[in-house]
Amino acid sequence: MTKPRTLYDKIWDDHVVDTQEDGTCLLYIDRHLVHEVTSPQAFEGLRMTGRKVRRPEKTLAVVDHNVPTTDRSQGIDDPESALQVQTLADNAAEFGIEYYSELDHRQGVVHIVGPEQGFTLPGMTIVCGDSHTSTHGAFGALAHGIGTSEVEHVLATQTLIQKKAKNMLVQVDGKLPEGVTAKDIILAIIGEIGTAGGTGYVMEYAGEAIRSLSMEGRMTICNMSIEGGARAGLIAPDETTFAYIQGRQKAPKGEALERAISYWKTLHTDEGAHFDKVVKLDAANLPPIVTWGSSPEDVISVTGVVPNPDDIADENTRKSKWRALEYMGLTPGTKMTDIPVDVVFIGSCTNGRIEDLRAAAAMIGNGKVKDGVKAMVVPGSGLVKEQAEAEGLDKVFKAAGFEWREPGCSMCLAMNADKLQPGERCASTSNRNFEGRQGFKGRTHLVSPAMAAAAAIAGHFVDIREWQKP
């Protein structure tokens, strides 16, 4: 009898081209996503050595980080961003790679675009010069970020040098309560294991709460695997996955799809397979979560208070959490619901999909964005934007005073004009609350889309389980 294997073991085994004595492997890469930030030197490397892209048809390029989210039909004002974007356009043309420009309606954040186009499929190895490539693991694909020199290696050879990681199981049982979302699950997991908890592991998420999630929710979970230290997260594909894939532009069709599905059905962890680490969480007990510090592990229930770092035994951690509170301008004991916000950002590859925008819009009713609060919605892609407009969500947002923008990474990391001013406090649906992440001295609180929308209207965090929409 063959040894029971995890989902990660199976995908890994299916892609190993060569194994060295020390365990270093050469892995075949099925899909390579490329964006403007981490690719220029990789293409330059190819040019200098006279090499081509090995499999241009397995490579897809899209601009996302540097694009403005205001009207861009007249070009990009910022010279650095304009150059960055133009460089990717030129490289894609020169090397024969399919490219979605800022004017293409398929353009968006790379991790939203891949799944949306059916480019991301179960059982594949997927890489991108971007840490949030873990998002694609929601399809049961082994997907992770790579560095620029690796981008060059994959472009040239369609392979990657890798050592196998350990297996970790994150079991989330129970039924998610009303008002609590995939974002709260993953924030709770990171709060539990810490930002280094997944280091050296590939995390597989399983259990009733994960199974009940839509593909959008699963992507939110896998997206933040990297914030928990794991380079990749995985969720076994099932009927929800197959239904999402069906009919997508680049997905297999007809008989090819049937054959693919029968293979995809084998992509699950075998009974009795070994995990090196197991973490369990009960979804039924989860509240809506808000981060209070400058690390994604600094999580607290919306019903809680800003914690007191003096309660932490370890001196280094205590000091660093005090520093975080100082940066955030918060005092221990303050009720989370008493913290006012200046800015609300709804978007990013964590929470910029259609379901996220629906959840945010559903909080609004006849409400208006609180005076003095600046709120913006940045759809994750042009297709998300179109879908939202077809459903009239843009009207709901605009009537309430939210700005309705063009797709891109935007204020998730402030590489374009969308930035916090020093000292501004933001309720954000993105994935990183590091110092300066959304702008110099900007203060970020990570929340779900529904929590962000309610904060925009109330002007402070609210427990959306008790939210009476205006």
Ligand X SMILES: CC(C)[C@H](C(=O)O)[C@@H](O)C(=O)O
Annotated binding-site positions: 349, 409, 412
Is 307 a residue that touches ligand X (CB under 6 A)? no
- Residue choice 330, 412, 450, 464 for contact with ligand SF4 (CB under 6 A): 412
Q: Which of ligand X, ligand SF4, none is residue 125 near (CB under 5 to 8 Å by kind)?
A: none
Residue closer to ligand X, measured from CB, 364 or 415? 415
Binding to ligand X by residue 126, rule CB under 6 A?
Answer: no
Q: Does 132 bind ligand SF4 (CB under 6 A)?
A: yes
Distance CA 217, CA 1 (A): 36
Interaction partner, residue 185 (ligand X, ligand SF4, none; CB < 5-8 Å by kind): none
- 347 forms part of the interface with ligand X (CB under 6 A): no
Q: Which of 30, 36, 116, 130 binds ligand X (CB under 6 A)?
A: 130
* Contact assessment for residue 169 and residue 276, using Cβ atoms and an 8 Å cutoff: no
Task: Describe the crossing of helices 40-49 and 79-95 by its angle, rounded to 10 degrees.
Answer: 40
Which residues pair with residue 277 across a beta bridge? Answer: 168
Asked whether 181 and 448 are in contact (CB, 8 A), the reply is: yes
* CA–CA dist 153, 465 (Å, integer): 49
DSSP string, 121-137: -TT-EEEESSGGGGGGG
Q: Is 36 in the site for ligand SF4 (CB under 6 A)?
A: no
Binding to ligand X (CB under 6 A) within 19-38 occurs at 37-38
3-state SS track over 413-467: CCCCCCCCCCCCEEEECCCCCCCCCCCCCCEEEECCHHHHHHHHHHCECCCHHHC
Residue 130 as a binder of ligand SF4 (CB under 6 A): the answer is yes
- CB under 6 A: which stretch of 54-62, 118-126, 128-136, 372-380 binds ligand X? 128-136
Question: Is residue 414 a contact residue for ligand SF4 (CB under 6 A)?
Answer: no
Which residues are registered as beta bridge partners of 377? Answer: 346, 404
Among 409, 453, 456, 464, binds ligand SF4 (CB under 6 A): 409
The answer for residues whose C-beta is within 8 angstroms of residue 131's C-beta and 6 or more apart is 145, 226
User: At closest approach, how far in Å is the CB of 436 from ligand X?
Assistant: 12
Q: With binding defined as CB under 6 A, does residue 131 bind ligand X?
A: yes
The pair of three-digit structure tokens given for residue 271, joined into one six-digit string: 């009974």
User: For residues 134 and 162, which CB has a smaller minimum distance to ligand X in the complex?
Assistant: 134
Task: Supply the DSSP symbol for 408.
Answer: S
Give the range of 116-124, 176-184, 316-324, 409-417 binding ligand SF4 by CB under 6 A: 409-417
Residue by residue, DSSP assigns 290-345 as EE-SSSTT-EEETTSB---GGG-SSHHHHHHHHHHHHHHT--TT-BGGG-B-SEEE
Q: Which residues are annotated as a binding site for [4Fe-4S] cluster?
A: 349, 409, 412
Does position 85 interact with ligand SF4 (CB under 6 A)? The reply is no
Burial of 236 (0-12, 13-18, 19+ CB in 10 A): buried
Binding track over 49-68 against ligand SF4, x by CB under 6 A: ---------------xx---
Report the residue from 186, 349, 455, 458 that binds ligand SF4 according to the rule CB under 6 A. Answer: 349
Nearer to ligand SF4, 107 or 431 (CB): 431
Closer to ligand X by Cβ: residue 393 or 415: 415
Stretch touching ligand SF4 by CB under 6 A, among 91-99, 151-159, 284-292, 407-415: 407-415
Q: Are 286 and 29 in contact (CB under 8 A)?
A: no
| Closer residue to ligand SF4 (CB): 159 or 351 | 351
Closer CB to ligand SF4, 409 or 462, in the complex? 409
Rg, C-alpha atoms of the chain: 22
Q: Is 101 exposed, middle or buried (0-12, 13-18, 19+ CB in 10 A)?
A: middle
Total residues at interface with ligand X (CB under 6 A): 8
How far is CA 417 from each of CA 99, 110, 344, rounded to the nearest angstrom? 23, 19, 15
Q: Which stretch binds ligand X (CB under 6 A): 84-92, 114-122, 130-138, 200-208?
A: 130-138
Binding characters for ligand SF4, 420-449, by CB under 6 A (x = yes) = ----------xx------------------
CA-wise closest residue to 220 among 363, 111, 105: 111
Q: What residues line the site for ligand X (CB under 6 A)?
A: 37-38, 65, 130-132, 145, 413
Q: What residues line the site for ligand SF4 (CB under 6 A)?
A: 64-65, 109, 111, 130, 132, 348-349, 409, 412-413, 430-431
